[in-house]
Amino acid sequence: MKVLAALGVAVAAISLSPAASAQTRTITDHSETASALICLLDHDRQACGYHFVGSARGTARTWLWWGPVKDFDLGDVVSANYAGTEGQNFYTTRYLNGRAADVYDVRFKKAHRTFYIVPPGPDGKVRYIFVRNGAPNDEIQDYWASR
């Protein structure tokens, strides 16, 4: 599973389709957030090397303290692709304190999730993560449904 996640992120960085970068997403260096995503998807809190603090702590705990029930609910990771860096929008404003975030499209065998990860601060700590159901381009539908 580690190899699949790393491969998916690397391939996505090279070949991102224009449709995946919809809305206000741009392509940036996302190596720090890609490492954090791999850490979360591998569920290895001992070898992670990242410190998730602030509002990211609760979200990270969900992914780092993994169990068989969660494996059953989501299934194995099928792909993890970088979708671009999102500026200020509904999600970054509401859940990430208005900070730009790297967006990842993660497909599991039984589910689809979008990860928003704000790059670590100068101290190397990740303070903001948000995970929602669906693909990155489902943002507008989800926004109107949640109002």
pLDDT in the model for residue 124: 87
Closest CA to 139 of 97, 63, 86: 86
Which tens digit of pLDDT belongs to each residue from 25-38?
A: 566 667 889 989 99
pLDDT in the model for residue 32: 84
pLDDT in the model for residue 142: 53
Which tens digit of pLDDT belongs to each residue from 72-130?
A: 888 889 999 999 998 888 888 888 988 999 999 999 999 999 999 999 999 989 999 99
What is the distance between the alpha carbons of residues 61 and 65, in angstroms, rounded to a whole number? 6
CB 16 within 8 A of CB 83: yes
The end-to-end CA distance of the chain, in Å, is 36
